[in-house]
Structure 1
């Protein structure tokens, strides 16, 4: 649909089950996009770089907050900048990697680039001192692997990953197509395999859980021992279970009421507690009474037992074996048991539960409790396998 976009058009266009695009008859390439979540002004331009046609899109702003006349002027400015960048590509036969990054950062529309302009440029010279001033067109896959090895040897694996992300940023925003000789897939591959032992999906091998339990049991702080076990049994995020309060626990119904304000996705849910989790919490309450801990939190920091400061979840004596790795281990156990991924995510608070129209409330609770108890029993078996009991 093509018509002049006015405020009446914006107000009258609604999402009816599928996305709607209203193209402006006054400014070619300017259009209104209506999705389920928002109404957005966008601009689109087709350019030729090195004989290859490329389509670029830019989000101008939220149509419910931005005046249509202002949005049209911003789109005109963006079109002008895109044309200027295309013209520069025809005039200059080559540009250095440093100058290319600087051009990308000062170009309108890249807000994140403007915020970190100096930092990105400084890092480019620091990580690629020999290649920063060389023509960007000379950078190919062989140069990429060589540069990755140099950065890794000099600064370490973590910095090498950051260097690859910087090159990916330049590659993705290169309207000149100067880096055509560099493979985007190779950059992604280097990021996937550079730190195989430190990915977000890292978990404790199930055959090592008994040894892990032995090391937890010799920790000097009994409250922290229970905190790690509670994280493994429930699968909750560390940022969630360290902020749980004593009032959130309902022993009668065996439920932990997780408040929305302590979840990253800002939604509350009930975490069903197995018998093992209840036993852990009962011991925690006894420790609070024995040591006179007045904090509302279940697991307060050791130095602030009278204040509501969450405990740090990672143990210095057990690097890589506490914190988020316990949530991932919880999921691995669920997968090995054949539990549906959606249900395991719901039980660990990673996804909203189904609507009541799709699944009856009572059936969902019974299913969740049964699966949770079976899951906890399996964890207990793994902990007891050669450790003398859990």
Structure 2
């Protein structure tokens, strides 16, 4: 969401919309430099002003005042006025030992030490963008730096390096307010930015300030399904009202792909002749682009969603495989109410890996199908696209066969499943849409004729 300007009050802040992703600023129309940082879990009173030295602007800093759930707007505005007054005099409101932080800032600026925001900008341009990292990855880093570390943006990295206790305290604070995983993630971001900055600034200490953190324990969630769970999941899925979302979750299960990669798939990425779906920019960027081999069930899924897209979202369907009424034009949010659909997203990726084992697919082949990195020196000699044509497609088919075999007699007894996936419906769809067309226009024309 974009930043807004309102007259800040307790009622107005409570009514501010929660962003779907990231954060935005709600600036006060009464007091310049006073605003609320509105995130998904927290709303923080903050001030921003220019530190001045000898009448000239030295730097701009942001200083957090407190959680909007714990402070009234009136109290926060009073504190903001005090902070802004100190900033205008060249004093950092939260300086330790008088004005030591400001003296440290001045000293570091004199020797050219980068501030956090300067180091972040270089890391963004020279590392993330240049290496083709996805927008979602960049958004995550940006959220850590510009929201969670907003009060440090104009703080030199040398200051943080010389005060690792401050970094450890910040991690403790984030663990309580934002959760252990978010706290760990933000510190990994800080560590990466510092290491990158040190490559061109040898004045920075070798010890990374993030090394002072007592990391929170993280455990991989084990939420995948086994073959015995699939029948119940299909009965949940068939009841989804939106058929495009239904086909999205089914394809996610059958291919084990990350949801973000499928969300941005386009009709022209489908090659029906080679029976592949191209993923041009998965996690890791364009250098990790790969083709997903398609089983028979996956082909039918894609044919159905192309037809549903044309009927429900004709404009967006020209560009996106999974069109939707969203700012991007494609499915942007694929979460479901757990009471409606118990498994989605990464749950289905874990399920794919579990079912692959049940289907007798080797760990090496399963990793190739999921586009995982293959460890070991010999992995560099594997030509993946050569395997797609025959071997990996047969492995993909084995997984899809196990998935649909788990339905048992449901495809003969459950009316909704029969209408969606039954032999009659599949045969009609399959025979009316040929798989040979070479161009997108020819393919869409034949789909239109079949519809």
TM-score, normalised on structure 2?
A: 0.44
TM-score, normalised on structure 1?
A: 0.50
